[in-house]
Chains A and B, each alone.
Chain A
Amino acid sequence: QMQLLQSGAEVKKPGASVKVSCKSSGDIVPGHYIQWLRQAPGRGLEWMGWINPKSGAYYRVQGLHYRVTLTWDRSLTTANMEVDSLTSDDTAIYFCAEGPKYIYVWGQGTTVTVSS
């Protein structure tokens, strides 16, 4: 089964940017998406958006689309998510995930802490 390996934990100051990478162990099946979600401490899952590795199309949820950039590096089979202008509200575990629409495979999560 395909696996997703995410980059390590990050600590950032307010106003900074963070980039989280998500390495796929194999090619993404056509019609499947890489989705991004986050989970603030003690909270539920917040869906952030997706990128289609085959077409390059992407979607970011309203409210985050000004600050979130989603990319796919075909040569490295790696998805990247960058969040700009960080605030303490962005402190969370960030997950990448893969599947046709529902999520079949999850990354292990990347903890991002925003603190002055």
Chain B
Amino acid sequence: QSALTQPASVSGSPGQSITISCTATTSDIGYSVSWYQQRPGEAPKLLIYDVYNRPSGLSPRFSGSKSGNTASLTISGLLSEDEGQYFCSSYSSGTFLETVIFGGGTKVTV
């Protein structure tokens, strides 16, 4: 697995859409990518898994995609509550878990 690079910060106005990228530095990022939101003082929260999938009950404003060695998280209809840190993660694609890597995180400002 290669390292994952995220932009340090992304900002947007309420109601707008923003996209956070997550680029694998040396290889195709694959389809085992998840995204997490972390608000200040809280534990992270799963937003997206396996590139595209949302956990049950999560707002459809959050969506994931991938192109080549870059996965992306799009937040539509920005709300003030979306402020926080966002992390991407890549995990092994086989039957068993091997290693997991995290991107450095992106601070979202609304």
Contact = CB atoms under 8 A, between A and B. Distances in A.
Interface of A: 33, 35, 37, 44-47, 50, 52, 59, 61, 95, 99-104, 106-109
Given A44-B87, A103-B34, A109-B43, A35 B105 contact: no
A95 B36 CA distance: 14
A44 B102 contact: yes
B45 interface: yes
Nearest to B91: A101
A101 B32 contact: yes
A103 B101 contact: no
Contact of A45 (B46, B55, B98, B105): B105
A99 B97 CA distance: 10
Q: Is the interface of A mostly helix, strand, loop or mixed?
A: loop
Interface of B: 32, 34, 36, 43-46, 49-50, 55, 85, 87, 89, 91-92, 97-105
A101 B92 CA distance: 8
B105 A103 contact: no
Given A44-B104, A47-B102, A103 B46 contact: yes
Given A44-B102, A45-B105, A101-B32, A106 B55 contact: no
A50 B105 CA distance: 21
B97 A101 contact: yes
A66 B56 CA distance: 38
A46 B43 contact: no
Contact of B102 (A33, A45, A107, A109): A45
